[in-house]
Amino acid sequence: MMTAIAPPQSGQRLALLIQYQGTHFHGWQRQVGQRTVQEVIEQAIASVVNHPVSVVAAGRTDTGVHAAGQVAHVTVNSPIPVHRWPGILNARLPADVVIRAAAVVPDHWHARFSALWRRYRYTLYTDPCPNIFLRPWTWHYYYAPLDVEKMAAVLQPLIGRHHLSAFHRSGSNRAHSWVEVQAVSCQRRGALVEIEVQASGFLYGMMRLLVGLLVQVGQGQRSPASFTEIWQQEQRHLVKYAAPPVGLCLLGVGYPESPFPLALCSEAMPQFQLASITPELSIA
């Protein structure tokens, strides 16, 4: 059972913009006996300020899931200027975690409860030829052709406020499955298929279950009408496959007034670029 760490009674509240490769982490949330993102960041900060800290994130990513623009807050007793925190922490953090920026925020500001939206992207690599540079970040899905236009079309009815218990894994302590979906997209860029969802919040396992069902539509195994009926009728028992975590990335988090420059947040939403080889290109 986890023990909560009480923040200091007084101090400065910092917002952190964080990136991490989730491959070797057991998710964000601190867990006894497991390597987690929260724990390694808390250890790094505590080694600087010499008191325990609790780092609170906008979203608790699951085992193996990445983040390009995770946001968290922490309260510290330290005279260190805010602009020095990223460099100090990055020198103490493992190679698969980076603090991109830090900002001072009011004491009432909360990384989770102040957020208006979170945006995730799931990336599939569909070329039969493996690519070692894409392997840590994409689901290598080449088993059947995917009808991306059909996949994009069935996502559209999800926009709005819905009860999405069909995409809610067991094991969550959330009392309900209501989600306000704000934006959706599915597009092909060459061998890459990118599925993005922006919502007020995400249920435990929601994106991976949604992508697993969506791929069935794309390969023709399930009809678009069936996809919509399953989530509208809350038929969780029919959602049997979750996409692997490797392709999922938390792109960013939105706030009424972001503590970070818009350009910095936009830069944290990368897209893979695969060069097109033409017959004119040759090696002498």
Q: Rounded to 5 degrees, what angle do the CA atoms 43, 45, 49 make? A: 115
Question: If 0-12 CB within 10 Å is exposed, 13-18 middle and 19+ buried, where does residue 143 land?
Answer: exposed
Cα distances (angstroms) measured from residue 70 to each of 58, 97, 111, 242: 7, 11, 9, 22
Residue 264: other Cβ atoms inside 10 A: 14
Q: Measuring CA to CA, which residue among 15, 14, 55, 17 is closest to residue 36?
A: 55
Q: Taking the alpha carbons of 254, 212, 163, 157 in that order, is the dihedral positive or negative?
A: positive
Which residues are the active-site residues?
62
Query: Under a CB-based contact definition with an 8 Å cutoff, are residues 74 and 56 in contact?
Result: yes
Q: Collapsing DSSP states into helix, strand and coil, what is residue 98?
A: strand
Antiparallel, parallel or unpaired: β 66-76 and 248-254: parallel
